């Protein structure tokens, strides 16, 4: 596997604060190639052999804006138990419903654009349903839960110019922790 040539923006880059634009169809070949590069990068970052060889931080999600293009696209690469991966390509997502229950990632959320340790919790919905479009512009609906729900919400925040660190109270990073379930 060859490491794609992607530059991931750092949190100090003001482009990460831009609200991404709706995507128009059909997608260009360049857009499809970038999506494939993002999937390859995330997959390689989760395989120890490649993450060590290329000094990659493990990541499971990447929004298009993180590579400097403010379009409403993100990908999630979920590592399955048998060493395989499930890829989600999400274009023009809209959250249409969510659970009342909220959760947080016990070891804390991370982000490929935030190159530092961040203390604190980020409350997220345990389950969400979104409407989005696939690579061909076909609409679909998907319901996700637990860690994939967290990843989807994290990436949708990116599309709206929000970083996970914005959601942590700097005065009290573990505020209301007892109201949410840890995953």
Alpha carbons 177 and 170: distance in angstroms, whole number: 14
CATH code (residue 105): 3.90.45.10
Residues 9 and 63 sit within 8 Å (Cβ to Cβ): no
131 is catalytic: no
How far the first Cα of the chain sits from its last, in Å, is 32
Is a pLDDT exceeding 90 seen at residue 65?
Answer: yes
- The model's pLDDT over 106-156, given as tens digits with 9 standing for 90+, comes to 999 999 999 999 999 999 999 999 999 999 999 999 999 999 999 999 999
- The model's pLDDT over 7-53, given as tens digits with 9 standing for 90+, comes to 999 999 999 999 999 999 999 999 999 999 999 999 999 999 999 99
Query: Is residue 5 in a domain?
Result: no
Which pLDDT value is given to residue 143?
Answer: 98
Query: Is residue 82 in a domain?
Result: yes
**What residues are paired with 145 via a beta bridge?**
127
Q: What is the mean pLDDT of residues 71-89?
A: 95
List all residues 6 or more positions away from 63 whose beta carbon is below 8 Å from its beta carbon: 20, 73, 74, 155, 158, 159
Look at 1-5, 73-77, 95-99 and tell me which has the smallest mean pLDDT.
1-5
Q: What is the mean pLDDT of residues 78-99?
A: 95
How many structural domains compose the chain?
1
Is a pLDDT exceeding 90 seen at residue 157?
Answer: yes
Which pLDDT value is given to residue 109?
Answer: 95
- Could you tell me the pLDDT band of residue 103, with boundaries at 50, 70 and 90? very high
Query: Is residue 169 in a domain?
Result: yes
In the block, tokens 């659970």 appear at: 99
Is a pLDDT exceeding 90 seen at residue 81?
Answer: no
Q: Determine if residue 55 is left, alpha or beta; phi over 0 gives left, psi from -120 to 50 gives alpha, anything else beta.
A: left
Query: Is residue 1 in a domain?
Result: no
Query: Is residue 107 in a domain?
Result: yes
Is a pLDDT exceeding 90 seen at residue 73?
Answer: yes
Containing structural domain, residue 101: 14-182
Alpha carbons 61 and 125: distance in angstroms, whole number: 17
From the candidates 49, 52, 155, 182, which is the catalytic residue?
A: 155
- Could you tell me the pLDDT band of residue 82, with boundaries at 50, 70 and 90? confident
Q: Determine if residue 133 is left, alpha or beta; phi over 0 gives left, psi from -120 to 50 gives alpha, anything else beta.
A: beta
- Could you tell me the pLDDT band of residue 83, with boundaries at 50, 70 and 90? confident
Query: Helix, strand or coil for residue 82?
Result: coil
Which pLDDT value is given to residue 108?
Answer: 92
Closest C-alpha to 133, from 92, 88, 86: 92
Query: Is residue 9 in a domain?
Result: no
Is the pTM higher than 0.85? The answer reads yes
Query: Is residue 2 in a domain?
Result: no
Query: Is residue 108 in a domain?
Result: yes
Q: Which residues of 72-104 are buried (b: 16+ CB within 10 A; e: fewer)?
A: bbbbbbbeeeeeebeebbbbbbeeeebeeeebb
């Amino acid at each position: 596997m060859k490491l794609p040539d992607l530059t991931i923006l750092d949190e100090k880059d003001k482009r990460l604060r831009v609200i991404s634009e709706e995507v128009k169809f059909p997608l260009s070949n360049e857009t499809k190639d970038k999506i494939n590069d993002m999937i390859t990068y995330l997959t390689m970052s989760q395989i120890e052999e490649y993450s060590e060889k290329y000094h990659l931080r493990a990541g499971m999600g990447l929004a298009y804006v993180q590579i400097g293009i403010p379009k409403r696209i993100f990908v999630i690469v979920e590592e399955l138990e048998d060493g395989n991966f499930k890829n989600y390509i999400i274009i023009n997502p809209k959250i249409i419903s969510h659970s009342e229950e909220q959760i947080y990632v016990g070891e804390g959320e991370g982000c490929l654009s935030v190159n530092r340790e961040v203390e604190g919790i980020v409350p997220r919905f345990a389950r969400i349903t979104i409407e989005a479009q696939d690579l061909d512009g076909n609409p679909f609906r998907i319901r996700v839960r637990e860690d994939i729900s967290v990843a989807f919400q994290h990436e949708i925040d990116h599309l709206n110019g929000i970083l996970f660190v914005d959601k942590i109270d700097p005065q009290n990073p573990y505020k209301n922790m007892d109201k949410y379930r840890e995953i």
